[in-house]
């Protein structure tokens, strides 16, 4: 079976304190570094998602914008 381009799957083990280690390949692919803050989005039916850092910044900017310039 051929892997779809741009699609990945990894596993992570949850430790006793509820922490997970993001696999090295995933950290490198998404430029995740020590001290970075990640956003976890969850849906009971669909699971947990960790959006890219750039998407997090764009969402935060939208949420905290003052609304000027919007129609």
Q: What is the tens place of the pLDDT at every residue in 5-62?
A: 888 899 999 999 999 999 999 999 999 999 988 888 899 999 998 888 778 778 778 8
Q: So where are the chain's domains?
A: 36-66
State both tokens at 54: 């750039």
Task: Give which of 53, 32, 31, 50 is closest to 41, Cα–Cα.
Answer: 50
Contact 14, 20 (CB under 8 A): yes
Gap between the Cα atoms of 35 and 69, Å rounded? 34
Per-residue pLDDT at 69: 55
Per-residue pLDDT at 70: 55
């Amino acid at each position: 079976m051929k892997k779809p381009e741009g699609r990945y799957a990894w596993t992570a083990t949850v430790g006793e304190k509820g922490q997970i280690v993001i696999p090295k390949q995933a950290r490198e692919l998404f430029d995740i570094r020590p001290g970075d803050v990640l956003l976890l989005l969850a849906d009971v039916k669909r699971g947990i998602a960790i959006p890219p850092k750039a998407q997090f910044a764009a969402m935060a900017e939208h949420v905290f914008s003052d609304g000027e310039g919007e129609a």
